[in-house]
Structure 1
Amino acid sequence: MTTAPERATSAPAPDTDTATGTTGSTASGTTRLRRIAERERTPLQRLVDGAVGAGSPLDGARRAAGRMLRDRVVPVLEPITGFGWAVLVVTVAALVLGIMLGWKELIVIGIAGALLLLAGIAFIIGRNRYRIELDLAYTRVVVGERALGRIEIHAASPKPLLPATIEVPVGRALASFHLPRMRPGDVHEDVFAIPTSRRTILQVGPVRSVRGDPVGLLRRQVKWTDPVELFVHPKTVQLDETAPGLIRDLEGITTRDLTNSDIAFHALRDYVAGDDRRYIHWKSSARTGSLMVRQFEQTRRSVLALGLSTNPEDYADPSEFETAISVLGSVGLQAVRDEMDVVVQTSRRTLPATTGKRLLDGLSGVEWSPRHDRFLDLAATIGQAHAGASVVLLHAGAVVDPALVRRARTLLPSQARVIVVSAVQGASPRIQPIGDVVLATVGAVTDLPRVMRGVALQ
């Protein structure tokens, strides 16, 4: 039904309709809804808003006229379709030329066009009152699964309602339902399924009712609900119990900073006033005749940095990009379960990874672009922004070769263990040591548990 997301939003109904509706799921945030509303505006609305917007040099009277044009004239002209505008122009031109030149044929054409427009108006006038509920069974599904949705329409008018069409935008696609004539208190329900063939974020809704004439001159639509976001997560696999040893560090990583209390023992020194007596080394104190205390190397909590190249030039095939995302999601989920500090850096931005749900939601919206940084630039970004990382996993495609891996290693933190995951469509899983870096090749995300077991033994 759909392959890519499309943003949409709700808008107030015209004065001749009363729009009341609810959604079964939480809509997107205020910023995103503003962007959706911007895309939903018609060219006529954009033109008027540009004339009366903030910073316009128009004086107060002209601004007031502009607001009146936007609030009263635009809703009247908005139902006219492209074909309707063409008929309107031809009608006016035929009447004017026919009267000026005295051509009866043109006058007849103009009268016929005017009658068509008047008949179209008769189809769209009238007051509709609905209460519509849009509900998705799940707002998060895995790619390949079908998301089920339900629309429940209540007739909220004291008078019978004429038949109409109900439209539900789903990404770039559009689902349409025929709404029969409804009496007061009637309830109509429709169920629809959304196939998910690729990882993405879909905007489902807003639900709108549409009334128009048979010729297609006029089309009047009223929005009744807010849009609902459907997250299509990448496929992931659960790692074996032996694999998490790669990304789990119970003691953290040691540094060269010295401290009076920690885990990693460094040396003994003379006791000074204020030292904690729990760390006095009594055997050494008895042998030297003076109090000696233990000194430690400071340890820090380990950090796992996951990097993903989003430049198409780092992949030989789009499927490699999807495999790399699935691998990153699988490793990231395991790290979140292990309560590690996880950072996810793409070529464009840092993704939230405080919970597994937020991580997968972020990965659902990742797209690639030739304008994004390439593999080496990504490594440099991680080396600068996450210098304290103890483990770094970089994800890319078949284009990444050993020479590129060696160059990337010089840009990453020196204390970090580095693993580069190369997603190669159809390749057999293998592990190749390159200095102190491990280059792991996976042909599919299902190869990941086996590869991780091998990497953990390196």
Structure 2
Amino acid sequence: MVGTRTGPVADLVVEVVRLSGVAGRALARVAGRISNVLTPLGWAMIVVVPAAFVAGYGLGWMELVLVAWAGLVIAVVAAIYLVGRSPITIELRVPHSRVVVGEGASGQVTVVNPRSRRVLGSTIEIPIGAGLAEVVLPNLRKEAVFIHEFAIPTARRGIVPVGPVRTIRADPIGLVRRELVWTEERSLFVHPKTIAIPSTSTGFVHDLEGNPTRDLTNSDVSFHALREYQPGDERRYIHWRSSAKTGRYMVRQFEETRRSHLVVALSLATGDYANDEEFELAVSVAGSLGIRAIRDARTVSVLVSETTPEFAKRKLLAVRPLSTVTRARLLDDLAVVESAPTALAIADVARVAGEQVAGISVAFLVCGSGVTASELRSASTKFPVGVEVVAVVCDPESIPGFRRVAGLSILTIGYLEDLQKSLARSAAA
């Protein structure tokens, strides 16, 4: 800044400042590009070659001069490897965006040489999750196509990022390395295992969308039969035509219809599980229950524990709802849930769910063997009166079973397949 001064000196100062700024930005861009392609060996060469020139000519050591010139020639040759861009086109395909844990999954890289001349081979890198796959691309003749299929690991739930595919151009010595990105990243959702379970019509809200049950009632929308009038019956339900034929008052009797609002509460507290196997089984149970409710077009809420921040002064009493719009959306959310030491235990999850979710008719509490029967009984009391509470304890070391504790149904399962039998036994009890 030169203020209000004018004249040749002021103009010179302004021009110098402007040019220095332009030069500084240009040097920063060049330095950034150089740092992106130089390897540690390349940086060492940048230091050694000038030092060898100075020391060799300054001290008269011809050996150092020869070393300096040899290093300079090698650096120039290495730089030639970075010139230009390969004319090939690369496409990354992941045929399936969602798979079940343990299922086979694969991806495909297609390389095409659209030119009329041969293209030299190079190395292709494909990041797959935490790993990296390297593919040696051979020389491609004109209009040649190279296809490479690779496996994607699905041993664990989660989201596996695949790509972006990049080619590596480097000199044989390893002074420079240039990465060219060709594709975008793809994501593969690895869902938990689920199993088909029987439908349930448990619920207490009467409406036109409900499912008829075997329970009979005097007022509903699903007509069942006629019976004789009894004192206390409402006159509006009298069937006058049948009454005229029989000579006695006959009233309509209905089947009770119910629409269930199911709550599936999954504990993410590490202390509620003895090991990772129990937790994975619990995630599969929650997914199976939620999918059954979605298929039955029921109102369902799938809730998981929130995690208390590390330096919080008090425990965070909150739950996180998962998406139940579609089966795929629910499984996408379940694919990324993880247990945590500071996550809410099942009793606190039940407490928050009972306070925040309205109109609950059935609540499933899903946990591991770290939760005792008395703790489950305490958790069941957090829901309003009349809510049917079913606890599903995942314990591969125990024998599958069913028992009732003070109005609470406790299902113990060792494998996911045990859930079908346990629910059927619970419904018949």
Residue 205 of structure 2 corresponds to which residue in structure 1?
A: 253
Residue 425 of structure 2 corresponds to which residue in structure 1?
A: 454
Shift of 1:223: 0.9
Q: What is the CA deviation profile of residues 360-409 of structure 1, one whole-angstrom value per residue up to 9, with x for unaligned ones?
A: 11111112222322222222221232132211111111101012112212
| SS of structure 2 residue aligned to 1:353 | coil
Q: What is the CA deviation profile of residues 39-64 of structure 1, one whole-angstrom value per residue up to 9, with x for unaligned ones?
A: xxxxxxxxxxxxxxxxxxxx999997
Distance of 2:60 and 2:130 partners within structure 1? 49
Shift of 1:302: 2.4
Q: Find out whether 1:182 has 2:123 as its counterpart.
A: no
Residues 413 and 110 of structure 1: CA distance in aligned 2, closer, same or farther (over 3 Å): farther
Q: Is the 8 A contact 2:269 2:305 kept in 1?
A: yes
Equivalent residues in 2 for 1:414-433, closer than 5 Å: 414-433=385-404
Distance of 2:20 and 2:292 partners within structure 1? 61
Identical columns (%): 37
Residue 162 of structure 1 corresponds to which residue in structure 2?
A: 120
Equivalent residues in 2 for 1:368-383, closer than 5 Å: 368-383=339-354
Structure 2: which 5+ runs fail to align? Answer: 1-16, 208-218, 223-230, 241-256, 307-319
Q: Is the 8 A contact 1:387 1:413 kept in 2?
A: no
| SS of structure 2 residue aligned to 1:146 | coil
Distance of 1:435 and 1:131 partners within structure 2? 68
Shift of 1:429: 0.8
Pairing partner for 2:286 from 325, 328, 331 = 328
When normalised by structure 1's length, the TM-score is 0.71
Residue 26 of structure 1 corresponds to which residue in structure 2?
A: none
Pairing partner for 1:75 from 33, 45, 64 = 33
Q: What amino acid is aligned across from residue 205 of structure 2 in structure 1?
A: I
Residue 249 of structure 2 corresponds to which residue in structure 1?
A: none
Q: What is the CA deviation profile of residues 265-315 of structure 1, one whole-angstrom value per residue up to 9, with x for unaligned ones?
A: xx9999xxxxxxxx946699xxxxxxxxxxxxxx98421111111121211
Residue 121 of structure 1 corresponds to which residue in structure 2?
A: 79
Equivalent residues in 2 for 1:229-248, closer than 5 Å: 229-239=187-197, 243-245=198-200, 248=201
Residues 100 and 131 of structure 1: CA distance in aligned 2, closer, same or farther (over 3 Å): same
Distance of 2:277 and 2:295 partners within structure 1? 27
Q: Is the 8 A contact 1:84 1:218 kept in 2?
A: yes
Residues 397 and 100 of structure 1: CA distance in aligned 2, closer, same or farther (over 3 Å): farther
Q: Find out whether 1:226 has 2:188 as its counterpart.
A: no
Residues 440 and 114 of structure 1: CA distance in aligned 2, closer, same or farther (over 3 Å): farther
Residues 347 and 67 of structure 1: CA distance in aligned 2, closer, same or farther (over 3 Å): farther
When normalised by structure 2's length, the TM-score is 0.76
Q: Find out whether 1:363 has 2:318 as its counterpart.
A: no
Q: What is the CA deviation profile of residues 148-174 of structure 1, one whole-angstrom value per residue up to 9, with x for unaligned ones?
A: 221111124454322111111110111
Shift of 1:74: 2.1
Distance of 1:99 and 1:440 partners within structure 2? 86
Residue 384 of structure 1 corresponds to which residue in structure 2?
A: 355
Moved more, 115-124 or 93-102: 93-102
Shift of 1:359: 1.1
Shift of 1:69: 6.0
Moved more, 405-414 or 171-180: 405-414
Distance of 1:69 and 1:440 partners within structure 2? 69
| SS of structure 2 residue aligned to 1:169 | strand
Structure 1: which 5+ runs fail to align? Answer: 1-58, 256-260, 271-278, 285-298
Distance of 1:86 and 1:224 partners within structure 2? 30
Distance of 1:117 and 1:353 partners within structure 2? 59
Q: Find out whether 1:435 has 2:390 as its counterpart.
A: no
Distance of 2:346 and 2:51 partners within structure 1? 61
Q: Is the 8 A contact 1:388 1:413 kept in 2?
A: no
Q: What is the CA deviation profile of residues 189-226 of structure 1, one whole-angstrom value per residue up to 9, with x for unaligned ones?
A: 11122232111110111111111122322211111111
Distance of 1:95 and 1:410 partners within structure 2? 84
Moved more, 183-192 or 101-110: 101-110
Shift of 1:425: 2.2
Residue 290 of structure 1 corresponds to which residue in structure 2?
A: none
Q: Is the 8 A contact 1:302 1:390 kept in 2?
A: yes
CA RMSD of aligned residues (A): 3.5
| SS of structure 2 residue aligned to 1:244 | coil
Residue 30 of structure 1 corresponds to which residue in structure 2?
A: none
User: How many residue pairs align between the two structures?
Assistant: 369
Kindly name which structure, 1 or 2, has the bigger radius of gyration based on alpha carbons.
Answer: 2
Residues 416 and 179 of structure 1: CA distance in aligned 2, closer, same or farther (over 3 Å): same
Residues 235 and 114 of structure 1: CA distance in aligned 2, closer, same or farther (over 3 Å): same
Shift of 1:253: 2.2
Residues 301 and 122 of structure 1: CA distance in aligned 2, closer, same or farther (over 3 Å): same
Distance of 1:404 and 1:385 partners within structure 2? 21
Moved more, 85-94 or 421-430: 85-94
Residue 245 of structure 2 corresponds to which residue in structure 1?
A: none
Moved more, 310-319 or 383-392: 383-392
Residues 453 and 162 of structure 1: CA distance in aligned 2, closer, same or farther (over 3 Å): same
Q: Is the 8 A contact 2:206 2:259 kept in 1?
A: no
Equivalent residues in 2 for 1:119-158, closer than 5 Å: 119-157=77-115
| SS of structure 1 residue aligned to 2:341 | coil
